[in-house]
Structure 1
Amino acid sequence: MTTPKQGTEQGTERDTAADTKRDTDTDTTRTLHALEDSRSSVRLRAALAAGTSPQPRFVDKLIERCAIEPEFYVRETLTWALTRHASPTPVPQLMDELRSERTQARSQALHTLSKIGDRQAWPALTAALLTDTDDEVAQSAWRAAVVLVPEGEEAELARALAAQLGRGGRAVQLSLSRALIALGEVITPTLRAATTDADPRVRRHAIATERLLKNPDTGFEFAIEEAKRIMALGTTSQEG
């Protein structure tokens, strides 16, 4: 039998829980609206709030903002906020973003997946993404791939990445070299094969990457210059 006192206490607890829920709903709504504010400082604070107190209602909006957010530091905070949500909650939506026509949506989704590190996303890293015509998307795909690749598939990934050797300027080439080197010694046969490629840009990039693999303290520019010297002398990366 419930006494009047017990009934009052239970009623107070229910009222307190209801008040807490209303306050939480109000805070959530305020954060969701703030993510769309015209001021980057407000959007930044909202992203921080969404990561500090993660909840499923934030995920769709955070991913939506990643696709269109113009400020780099806000995008990075959006990604951080998504990593704070228990995987696999954000992962399926991020995988869907990889098919977006927006280059920023693809690039940021790949970046976020690499930070979350959930390998269920691996099948979504298609050859089309690894060879995307947009350099930012391709670089994000390379970085994500080396994080998410399943054990035993590193050599196949190395061959796929090596197909991009010689691509772009120094920044893009350095990004690819770092991705290849992150796979470890498994890349050695692929790099050696690339040092005999018909395209001198591919040969130079392969030799420079091999130099960096052997000596990580070597700067990329120095490795490129060393590769040029080796090619001028007519030697291979194995001989140099």
Structure 2
Amino acid sequence: MLIGEVARRSGVSARMLRHYDALGLVRPTGRTEGGYREYSGEDIQRIFHIESLRSLGLSLREVGRALDESGFTPSELVADLIRRTRERIAAETELLTRLRRIGAAEPAGWEDVLQIIALLQGLGSESAGRRQRAALSSVGEVSVPVEALVEAALSETDPNVAGALRWALAQSGDGGLALLAQGLGSPAAEVRKRAVQSIAEIPDGAATALLRDALTNADLVVRRYAALALGGRGVADAVPTLVDMIVDGANDADAADALSALAHDPALADQIATRLVHRLGDGAIEPSARRRLTQALADVPGTTTSRALADLSHDEDRAVALTATYILKLRDAR
């Protein structure tokens, strides 16, 4: 069979068949009297074998080894092909993500495209300073898509950069809340923590709703950050967790401040005082926890607090009694 007919039947161009011949991959078995290449049935079968192996991503050199080396085993080469394919897919996926983000930013011209690319590269830089500058520059006339900000915020380990990213997310509105909510369910504790911290800085009703839900999160750290944020927003649901934080000595000063802010609402003051007093009466808690609870009463107004402090001024724990007495004097002096 002559080269033209082989090309038609195999789908391999005559030029490529000549290239195979030059490389020694497929040498035609015969020649016609006129000197034209003449392929046998075995030659054509080898051509199909070559094309099959090329479809797996093998180079022509690797194809030649596979077909001609008697001791060749495919396992190592196939493993290498799998690795290369995964790397190629990862690179293509990264490119697709970048293109989608550029499209989402709706650039008006190529200058905008270049600026967005620079910001995205900045967010992914190994330099913390460059990441921070990119975060602070990401909100403006040409802004980074919120998806990129969320991804960066959930993976950032530098506290200064993380703060800049949370600020940028807060400026961008509630567009990233759905993605941050997914972060709350991450299997990685650090990602869950970063997610709730980011949500806490978004001054939005939808963010407050997410923080309320986070009070029942299985992660104790998430619950505590949510409670602190909700306390500052005047949400009474945070009170039980805040009191528990004081008992546990976990960010207890911040928890007491949050309770104090909530206690400015007269309707909540007695509720907070009652819960603090109830925990003070728990004989199972440590003396240090009772002292923290007593200190927390200092900024809670109302008669319930005053009566509790009067009783505590005679407490068996001298430190508790002295703290209560001091607080009462301060309250009387106001």
TM-score exceeds 0.5: yes
For 1:119 and 1:99, the matched residues in 2 are separated by: 20
* SS at 2:248 equivalent: coil
Is the 8 Å Cα contact of residues 47 and 78 (structure 1) preserved in structure 2? yes
Q: Which residue of 2 aligns with 1:144?
A: 229
Give the 3 Å change call, closer, same or farther, for CA 81–53 of structure 1 in structure 2: farther
User: 4+ residue runs of structure 1 moved beyond 6 angstroms?
Assistant: none
* SS at 2:282 equivalent: coil
* SS at 2:175 equivalent: coil
Q: Which residue of 2 aligns with 1:166?
A: 247
Q: Which residue of 1 aligns with 2:111?
A: 23
Answer yes or no: is 1:48 the counterpart of 2:136: yes
Deviation of residue 139 (structure 1)?
4.2
For 2:255 and 2:239, the matched residues in 1 are separated by: 10
Task: Kindly name which structure, 1 or 2, has the bigger radius of gyration based on alpha carbons.
Answer: 2
Is the 8 Å Cα contact of residues 228 and 238 (structure 2) preserved in structure 1? no
Deviation of residue 149 (structure 1)?
5.6
For 2:324 and 2:206, the matched residues in 1 are separated by: 37
Q: 2:171 aligns with which of 81, 84, 91?
A: 84
Q: Which runs of 5+ in 1 are unaligned?
A: 1-18, 215-226
What's the C-alpha RMSD, in Å, of the aligned pairs? Answer: 3.2
Answer yes or no: is 1:190 the counterpart of 2:267: no
Answer yes or no: is 1:109 the counterpart of 2:188: no
Deviation of residue 74 (structure 1)?
0.7
Q: Which runs of 5+ in 2 are unaligned?
A: 1-106, 302-311, 329-334
Give the 3 Å change call, closer, same or farther, for CA 99–67 of structure 1 in structure 2: same
Deviation of residue 122 (structure 1)?
3.3
For 1:63 and 1:231, the matched residues in 2 are separated by: 52
Q: Which amino acid aligns with 2:260?
A: I
Q: 1:232 aligns with which of 302, 309, 317?
A: 317
Deviation of residue 20 (structure 1)?
4.6
Deviation of residue 164 (structure 1)?
3.3
Is the 8 Å Cα contact of residues 121 and 148 (structure 1) preserved in structure 2? no
Answer yes or no: is 1:157 the counterpart of 2:235: no
Q: Which amino acid aligns with 2:203?
A: G
- Quick one: percent identity of the two aligned structures? 21
Is the 8 Å Cα contact of residues 191 and 206 (structure 1) preserved in structure 2? yes
